[in-house]
Amino acid sequence: MNAALDNPFTRAMARLGRELPRPKAVLCISAHWLTEGGLLLNGAGAFETIHDFYGFPEELYKIMYAPPPAKEAAERTAALLRAPAVTGRGLDHGAWTVLRMLYPKADVPVYQLSVDYPAEGKFHYELGRRLAPLREEGILILGSGNIVHNLGLMAPAMDAPPAPWNTAFDGLVKEYIDKGRRAELADYEALPDGSLAVPTPDHYWPFLTALGAGGNGKASYPYEGFHHGSLSMRAVLLS
């Protein structure tokens, strides 16, 4: 719903888009493009806006977001990762909702990398390390998911107070980032409240990949907050 709302989170993302240096392209890793046993990239042609959700207000299905495909950057990344050829897949809502907040004019070239869902946490963190050279080429690496994402325990109200285990896990992740213990976050199940915060890792893997790509860069937090009691909306910027 954030795609159609004006709230502190969406305003923070819009402000971030204005403040960031304009990238050559954006590589988005989204929680809503999951593959098994391998990685895929898109960006081969014009983007379709994929509305991959059900039962929401009609206004969300009318939103279209079609930035230029970053075909050259996608092919460069495919070679870097030795991944399959770049596909013509569109942008899922994990990508376009956030990109639309950052770059509302849809004028920054974009491409996506899928999430190899069954792979372990260390794989996703090390994948980010492999992607890190792209940052030196002017490519912004964007992980779109949630550090805490438990839909089963959501409260109806967006502004419901966060559950104690939510704030505890979210705060622990911030502490590990700030203290240089980033690689340890790959084993989230070993952390206190990990099973509640990350009941399934689809939304955690994009964060972990972006974290790996950030290396030892300085961390700041463009937004810190919670939605529906069981979601962390924390945004992490690694410079």
**pLDDT digit string (tens) for 203-224?**
999 999 999 999 999 999 999 9
Domain borders along the chain are: 2-238
Answer whether residue 85 shows pLDDT above 90. no
Burial of 190 (0-12, 13-18, 19+ CB in 10 A): exposed
Burial of 6 (0-12, 13-18, 19+ CB in 10 A): exposed
**pLDDT digit string (tens) for 43-73?**
999 999 999 998 898 999 999 999 999 999 9
- Model pLDDT, residue 172: 98
What are the backbone angles phi and psi of residue 86, rounded to the nearest 5°?
-70, 135
Is 2-238 in CATH node 3.40.830.10?
yes
Burial of 239 (0-12, 13-18, 19+ CB in 10 A): exposed
Separation between Cα atoms, residue 45 and residue 26, nearest integer Å: 15
Answer whether residue 78 shows pLDDT above 90. yes
Average pLDDT, the chain: 96
Token pair in block for residue 13: 């993302």
pLDDT-based confidence at 109, cuts 50/70/90?
A: very high
pTM summary value: 0.95
Separation between Cα atoms, residue 147 and residue 192, nearest integer Å: 14
Size (the chain), residues = 239
Decide: helix, strand or coil at residue 178.
helix
Separation between Cα atoms, residue 206 and residue 121, nearest integer Å: 10
